[in-house]
Amino acid sequence: MSLLTASGQNVSSHKSPNLIIILADDLGYADVGFNGCQDIPTPNIDKIAAQGVKFTNAYVSYAVCGPSRAGLMTGRYQDRFGFGRNPLFAPNDPEMGLPLSEETLAAALKKGNYKSVALGKWHLGAHESLRPLKRGFDDFYGFLTGGHQYFPELWTLKDEYEVKSQFDAYKTKLLRNNSRVEETEYLTDALSREVVNYIDKYKDEPFFIYLAYNAPHGPLQATQKYLDRFKSVEDPKRKIYAAMVSAIDDGVGDILNKLDQLGLTDNTIICFLSDNGGPEKHNASNNGILRGGKGELFEGGIHVPFAMKWPKKIPEGMVYEKPVISLDIFATIIAQSTIPIKTKNILDGVNLMPYLAGQNTGVPHDYLFWRKFDQHNYASRSANGDKIFVKDNTVNFFNLNQDISENHDLLESNAPKADTLKAYYNNWNSKMKDPIFLGLGSDKAYDENHPNRYIKQH
């Protein structure tokens, strides 16, 4: 198969770059070496930044797992299609997840002859119509819900219909495509093993691998192999957390080594980021100087570690200071070929390559927006660092360039700037949809309205 370039030349589709997205879950901003972490060595993750670009002002589109992933997977603000809540585990509900109106990155890349693999946490719908193989992926190895137990001896439920409550789903056996499997390895290690195997399987074709580790999301569980690396860490919770992050780093090392062995390194884009900020009290993560954490629209909830490498295309050791967002990954990879996207679906992400190559000295985004519908809570920031944080009509104004920790509310002296940010937010918000499904906070109400939630339908 060949693709037509913008200049009208035919090029073999295997020239299209591979893409690997490595998404950590609930990782603190300051818990990687490239952001200054001292107590958890992450040498392999740091290689991505050292051999490519570190983004200092990188964001995700929501402060918790599900909506953030919906944005990443579509390149669009998830509020455009009503994914404004963290979805429940509801295997009989075709509305509880990413709407079928949305084109995933895997579905888009399929038009460019890519092979796509989803590994780990899905959390975009448990109904059979919403699962990875129905959303453009060729392979899936992982679990459907928002979290999971890490030790295989705890995976005691044979399928989704043995689940009796929301968090029971953490105990289901893993899925390979549509079949439950017997796994024997610690979950993070199993996912790392699988990604290496899939790279080998698809090495002769352009591939997209979405590796969604659930680490270091709770429950805090690690094997002795990783715990032994942190004997000097006194806080027992931080020790397990550190071990979980170290397991991810080992997996990243396996990926980098495999690409090197197969000669695929130069033609592979690797992105590493977290789905949201760390919930510091829950998993002992560390967001450093950022205020707040997971679930909040202060910087600690949405401002994440993000590094990207593409040898010979992105300068080594680059530091990029202008605001970017996870939505940009979709637009960046699509722009490397002639793949058409679903025409009615507006992409909110932008192709970052002209900015990283110095061809465009402007800003990728003049404004970025976040909305927590149920909490009457929103935020907006401009490229020059101005940010508003609004909750129940109380407005805070910060300048992030001068006060990244959001310690000083400057509203009194910046009311006109705040009004401008509010006006831009209101214009954006007018194009968004209300949430289309109940979320985690409505588990009990959902059960009352769906008494057959976990009963297999015939």
> Structurally, how many domains does the chain consist of?
2
Q: Is 93 contained in some domain? A: yes
pLDDT for residue 200 is more than 90: yes
Statement to judge: residues 418 and 280 lie in one domain:
no
**Domain boundary, last residue among 327, 356, 385:** 356
pLDDT for residue 342 is more than 80: no
Over residues 372-387, the pLDDT tens digits come to 999 999 999 999 999 9
Amino acid letter, 336: Q
Statement to judge: residues 325 and 395 lie in one domain:
no
- Assign residue 58 the CATH number of its domain: 3.40.720.10
Phi, psi of 163 (to 5 degrees): -70, 135
Give buried/exposed letters for 35-61 (b at 16+ CB in 10 A, else e): bebeebbbebbbbbbbbbbbbbbbbbb
Q: Is 443 contained in some domain? A: no
Statement to judge: residues 321 and 384 lie in one domain:
no
Would you state the pLDDT for residue 124? 98
Q: Is 215 contained in some domain? A: yes
CA-nearest of 349, 390, 271 to 77 is 349
Q: Is 410 contained in some domain? A: yes
Q: Is 445 contained in some domain? A: no
Q: Tell how far CA 131 is from the center of its chain.
A: 17
65 is catalytic: yes
Element (H, E) at 421: helix 415-429
Statement to judge: residues 294 and 390 lie in one domain:
no
Statement to judge: residues 249 and 285 lie in one domain:
yes
pLDDT band at 340 (very low <50, low <70, confident <90, very high): confident
Q: Is 444 contained in some domain? A: no
Statement to judge: residues 107 and 238 lie in one domain:
yes
pLDDT for residue 15 is more than 90: no
- Residue 406's domain comprises 375-434
pLDDT for residue 9 is more than 60: no
Statement to judge: residues 419 and 307 lie in one domain:
no
Q: Which of 37, 123, 148, 271 is catalytic?
A: 123
Statement to judge: residues 352 and 379 lie in one domain:
no
Q: Is 236 contained in some domain? A: yes
Q: Which of 14, 37, 65, 376 is catalytic?
A: 65
Q: Are 373 and 84 in contact (CB under 8 A)?
A: yes
Q: Is 362 contained in some domain? A: no
14 is catalytic: no
The answer to whether the pTM exceeds 0.75 is: yes
Statement to judge: residues 131 and 234 lie in one domain:
yes
pLDDT band at 310 (very low <50, low <70, confident <90, very high): very high
Would you state the pLDDT for residue 341? 80
